[in-house]
Amino acid sequence: MAFVRYENVNKIKQLAYSYWRLTVIRMNYSPSDYRNHCISWNFQTFYRTIWRLLNAWSVIVAMIVTLFSLINEDFLFNLNDLQRVTNINRIDLLAYESIILCLINENLWFCLCKRVLNYHSSFDDILSGLRTYSERRLSKKYSKLLCHYFTIWNTIFMSLIDFLTLIIIITIPMSTYVSFKLYQNGQINMIKFILFIIIYLLGSSHTNFLVQLLLTIGNFLLFFTKFLELRFLQLVRLMEFVIRQKRILRLKMFIQWHHFQIGYVRCFDELSKFNQTAKTLFFFGEIINKTATIFVCLFYSKQIDMNLFSSSCVLVAIIIFVLMNYVYYRLAKLPSYNRYCYRLILSWFVRIQTFDDRSIKRLGLYRQHRSRFWLKTNFFLQTMMTNHFGFTCGNLFIIDKFKNFELLLVNLPWIMLFYKKICLA
């Protein structure tokens, strides 16, 4: 693919919203349609939805039919024929996993689409509007860094999508050639040959769509996570500058402290809105990650020789596992920044409380103003300590460094034990 350099945060945001509407929600509507609550209920809006629904349920029905052939050997199409064409053992495991992934994806789409049609989608509220407070306050230095970050990762993700798409495209003529040879040798008839081509095209098309969907969502989630991380890091640098002041009680210092409070509250509000939809994506992503890990362990243990078909299935599962863990690693930085900032402010708060009334009166901060300042600052510190500045995986857990490390320690031994006790048994 061609290398594309991005230099504007707002253009990246518009690109993300375009992918969100057309790929994830599968609907053709404009940002103004959502803002004005006037999404049209016509074929032009829902033709992507209809096509993807037909494709997904065709794959589900086709997989159920092929699994039924295991019970009835005289059925029109037998799964053993498909195993001979692809040279894969226990291809029924892939059929089960395909059904599960399609059902999970359709359930995710239904939840997100219902929110959009009811105009309760937090992603659309953020992406369809004008520039947010954090976008306007992000410095030029961090804006360039964010654009550079997205340019690199977008190139990596798009190259990975192109690579996996190329593998899927290569397997289509290969499988067609093998099935044609079986037809020439009389091992399958013409009806089975045609049915196999149809089933493989449906499965390949939907597999390619699911891979693109997961990688695209991961790409833009990393972008928005980096955006919030840089915005909060900018607030941390502001607080560090306030603390480094030689003259502690200065009017400029209190103005900067006020700006920090406004920025923190706005940043936390935007993150909370973003998390309302993101937590659903993380929840379904965690289910996909776990199910793909289980089935790929079972599938890999049943293979005698690995070929292009089986290797591509294992590769997709590995990519999902690595992507989920890397996304969690990036998300876990936000709570760490929050705790670091809390400790900074706490030490600064203790320092300024040690000054006497005479020093405070020089600034014109009399007792009533000082008491109000102490109460507001103390309450702000308590709020920082108790809130969860970060993302959540559904309603299961908060994504922080401890939970990320715990999941990694649990997943790897769990995979090895599962493979040893069940797959090799």
* Residues 6-15 pLDDT 10s: 777 778 888 8
In angstroms, what CA-CA distances link 130 with 6, 72, 127, 136? 19, 59, 8, 10
DSSP H or E stretch at residue 397: strand 397-398
pLDDT of residue 356: 46
What one-character DSSP code corresponds to residue 5? -
**Residues 334-358, mean pLDDT to the nearest whole number:** 73
pLDDT at 354 over 50: yes
Model confidence, pTM: 0.79
**Residues 245-249, mean pLDDT to the nearest whole number:** 56
In a domain, 4, yes or no: no
Identity of the highest mean pLDDT range in 67-71, 123-127, 192-196, 306-310: 123-127
Q: What is the Cα–Cα distance from 72 to 80, expressed in whole angstroms? A: 12
Number of structural domains, the chain? 1
On the CB side of 256, CA atoms within 13 Å amount to: 19
Instruction: Give the position of tokens 């005289």.
Output: 74
**Is the separation of the CB atoms in 147 and 8 below 8 Å?**
yes
- Terminal Cα-to-Cα distance of the chain (whole angstroms): 44
pLDDT at 425 over 80: no
Question: What does the pLDDT look like over 311-327, one tens digit per residue?
Answer: 777 787 788 888 888 88
pLDDT at 250 over 80: no
Please state, rounded to an integer, the average pLDDT across all residues of the chain: 77
Q: What is the Cα–Cα distance from 326 to 219, expressed in whole angstroms? A: 11
In a domain, 2, yes or no: no
pLDDT of residue 83: 72
More confident residue, 257 or 76: 257
Which tokens in the block code for residue 316? 């997709």
Q: What is the Cα–Cα distance from 148 to 136, expressed in whole angstroms? A: 18
pLDDT of residue 77: 63
Identity of the highest mean pLDDT range in 52-56, 89-93, 129-133, 401-405: 52-56
Q: Output the DSSP codes for 17-82.
A: HHHIIIIIS-----HHHHHTT----SHHHHHHHHHHHHHHHHHHHHHHHHHHHHH-TTSSS-HHHH
pLDDT at 359 over 60: no
Q: What is the Cα–Cα distance from 267 to 232, expressed in whole angstroms? A: 7
**Residues 196-219, mean pLDDT to the nearest whole number:** 81
In a domain, 1, yes or no: no
pLDDT of residue 418: 57
Query: pLDDT band for position 2 (50/70/90)?
Result: low
**Is the separation of the CB atoms in 70 and 79 below 8 Å?**
yes
Query: pLDDT band for position 122 (50/70/90)?
Result: confident
**Residues 213-240, mean pLDDT to the nearest whole number:** 83
Q: Which domain holds residue 81?
A: 9-423
pLDDT of residue 388: 76
Instruction: Give the position of tokens 């994506």.
Output: 281
pLDDT of residue 93: 78
pLDDT cut 70: percent of the chain above it: 83
In a domain, 3, yes or no: no
**Is the separation of the CB atoms in 284 and 108 below 8 Å?**
yes
Q: Output the DSSP codes for 271-285.
A: HHHHHHHHHHHHHHH
**Residues 368-393, mean pLDDT to the nearest whole number:** 74
CA 398, chain centre distance (Å): 15
Question: What does the pLDDT look like over 99-110, one tens digit per residue?
Answer: 888 888 888 888
**Residues 62-85, mean pLDDT to the nearest whole number:** 68
**Residues 363-375, mean pLDDT to the nearest whole number:** 59
**Is the separation of the CB atoms in 37 and 230 below 8 Å?**
no
pLDDT of residue 355: 56
Pairing of strands 397-398, 392-393: antiparallel
pLDDT of residue 217: 84
Which tokens in the block code for residue 18? 């375009």
Of 5-19, 202-216, 397-411, the range with the lowest mean pLDDT is 397-411
**Is the separation of the CB atoms in 59 and 203 below 8 Å?**
yes
pLDDT of residue 420: 57
pLDDT at 38 over 60: yes
pLDDT at 385 over 60: yes
More confident residue, 4 or 152: 152
Q: What is the Cα–Cα distance from 242 to 255, expressed in whole angstroms? A: 10
Query: Using CA atoms in the order 122, 124, 128, 129, what is the torsion angle rounded to 10 degrees?
Result: -10
**Residues 34-38, mean pLDDT to the nearest whole number:** 84
**Is the separation of the CB atoms in 267 and 134 below 8 Å?**
yes
On the CB side of 66, CA atoms within 13 Å amount to: 27
pLDDT at 422 over 70: no
